[in-house]
Amino acid sequence: MKPRVFSAMQPTADSLQLGNFLGALVEWVKLQDTHDAIYGVVDLHALTVAPEPEVLRRRSRVTAAQFLAAGVDPSRSIVFLQSHVPEHAELAWLLSTFTGMGEAGRMTQFKDKSARVGESGTNVGLFTYPILMAADILLYDTNVVPVGEDQRQHLELSRDLAMRLNARLGEDTVTVPEPHIVKETAKIFDLQEPTKKMSKSFSSPKGIIEILQDPKSVAKNIKAAATDSDAVIAFDRENKAGVSNLLTIYSALDGRSVDQLVADYEGKMYGHLKVDLAEVVVNYLTPIHDAAMEWIESPDRLDAVLADGAERASEIASATLERLYDRVGLLRPSHRR
């Protein structure tokens, strides 16, 4: 039996950016070959930021569509929406009774987020968010969780909870998950302000590269990227952030190392690099963009994939929850026995 991998994304954007795409989805797709994979769109998590209902619905489909377009294969892996499997919220409640106040209060992402909006603007869901995340993971006897560095502490909480459940309820109660921290091999910066991370919230539309953006406008953004004025193609993050960023993106998509690219572009002009890179990016993104649009434009087909995913996920999740409910001493209704 293959080890199980579980990961998830919140439906909080109308498109993934190139950076999330390369950092997360490319890794998820690879892991399907060696693991039994389950990938979720965690819509319950997204409620913590109070999205407009229509926006949440749209983004839930758009996020799933991008998983599929990237190459997550629903005939092998499970793709589902978190809210379709009620056991997530149910296990989160149980886990919250195993979580210390101090332990939850130490989560730095909550502290950062709540500091930004102030205590009055924050909600309890944001506080218990890592517990819901632990439920996502523990429901599926997950062995490996690929996540970015920013989720390391949340993963640590999931592990602590798993070990606590096993200590209190019996050693084989749940599987203790291992983090698989996806190294940012290609940390991608804003095209206009290349010292800042490329990010929907902080960038102008000209600074970002999105999967669902028209590839022609991606090409335009690359050609208009900010560079310095000394006209030497070299990798120097301190003094030549713009060119270095273009080289990073180029290398991530084309396979040539940054050093090789620098050698290949010796004596050439920035314009030359930009034109070539625009073509590389457009060739890379077009099939993914088109596949995602096809899924988005056939919501019935997409919803059928999600329904099938939810059914397969439920089978695993309900068995786990049943085991836990029984072990903590909840009387099981006779109709379930």
Binding flags for ligand TRP, 248-277, as an x/- string (CB under 6 A): ------------------------------
Q: Kindly indicate which of the ranges 93-101, 144-152, 223-231, 295-303 contains the residues binding ligand TRP, using the contact rule CB under 6 A.
A: 144-152
Binding mask 157-196 for ligand TRP (x = CB under 6 A): ----------------------------------------
> Is residue 113 among the annotated active site residues?
yes
Contacts of 216 (CB under 8 A, 6+ apart): 282
Q: Tell me whether residue 197 is one of the annotated catalytic residues.
A: yes
The residues pairing with 140 across neighbouring beta strands, listed in sequence order, are none
Binding flag, residue 6, ligand TRP (CB under 6 A): yes
* Site residue total, ligand TRP (CB under 6 A): 12
Q: At its nearest, how many Å lie between ligand TRP and the CB of residue 325?
A: 21
Query: Which are the contacts of 215, defined by CB distance < 8 A and separation ≥ 6?
Result: 281, 282, 285, 286, 289
Residue 10 neighbours by CB under 8 Å, 6+ apart: 41, 42, 43, 45, 46, 63
Q: Does 81 bind ligand TRP (CB under 6 A)?
A: no
Task: Assess 145 for contact with ligand TRP (CB under 6 A).
Answer: yes
Q: Does 137 bind ligand TRP (CB under 6 A)?
A: yes
Using rule CB under 6 A, residue 68 touches ligand TRP: no
What is the CB neighbour count within 10 angstroms for residue 152?
12
Least distance CB 128 / ligand TRP (angstroms): 12
Based on the residue annotation, tell me whether 187 is a catalytic residue of this protein.
no
Q: In angstroms, what is the C-alpha Rg of the chain?
A: 22
The helix (run of H) or strand (run of E) holding residue 290 is helix 270-297
Q: Judged by CB under 6 A, does residue 25 bind ligand TRP? A: no
How far is it, in rounded angstroms, from Cα 163 to Cα 142?
Answer: 13
- Spell 137-147 as b/e; 16+ CB within 10 A means b: bbbbbbbbbbb
Residue 244 binds to ligand TRP (criterion: CB under 6 A):
no
Q: From CA 326, how far away is CA 194, in angstroms rounded?
A: 54
The footprint of ligand TRP (CB under 6 A) covers 6-8, 10, 42, 45, 133, 136-137, 145, 147, 151
Q: Catalogue the active-site residues.
A: 113, 197, 200
